[in-house]
Amino acid sequence: MKIIKQIGIIFSICWIAQIIESILPFDFPASVIGMIMLFALLVLGGLKVDHIREKSDFLLSNMAFFFIPAGVSIINYFDVLKSCVLQLLVICVVSTVITFAATAYSMKLVLKLMNGRRRKGEQ
């Protein structure tokens, strides 16, 4: 019964998230609405991690498995991919390096500014 209750809690949140998605005037993914709702419930104390621990561990630790059907549907898109596979590879490699650099340098800058201010405050 414990697991069924947990499934009930998480699926209810997902269903309410879908209702909210359909009401919102812009495209915002229901799964992310569900994530924000669940986070808010945990922070505000409406829900404890213990209430959903087993089910969420199951979903998080098997996350990769749930993507198999989405990935397999690539066989319907072979024609599109054939024409641009090289470009896709280049885009993935270059943008990964750029993303890493942008994150690392912006954080370095903020940390430096914060340390500078802290030191100033101490003087």
Residues between 34 and 93 that touch other proteins (CB under 8 A): 34-39, 42-43, 49, 52, 55-56, 59-60, 62-77, 80-81, 84, 87-93
Residue 3 touching other proteins (CB under 8 A)? no
Residue with tokens 């650099």: 101
Residue 110 touching other proteins (CB under 8 A)? yes
Cα pseudo-dihedral 31, 40, 111, 101, rounded to 10: 0
Residue 23 touching other proteins (CB under 8 A)? no
Q: What is the 3-state secondary structure (H, E, C) of 33-74?
A: HHHHHHHHHHHHCCCCHHHHHHHHHHHHHCHHHHHHHHHHHH
d(CA 13, CA 32): 11
Closest approach of Cβ 52 to other proteins, in Å?
A: 7
Closest approach of Cβ 113 to other proteins, in Å?
A: 9
Closest approach of Cβ 85 to other proteins, in Å?
A: 10
Of 77 and 121, nearer to other proteins (C-beta) is 77
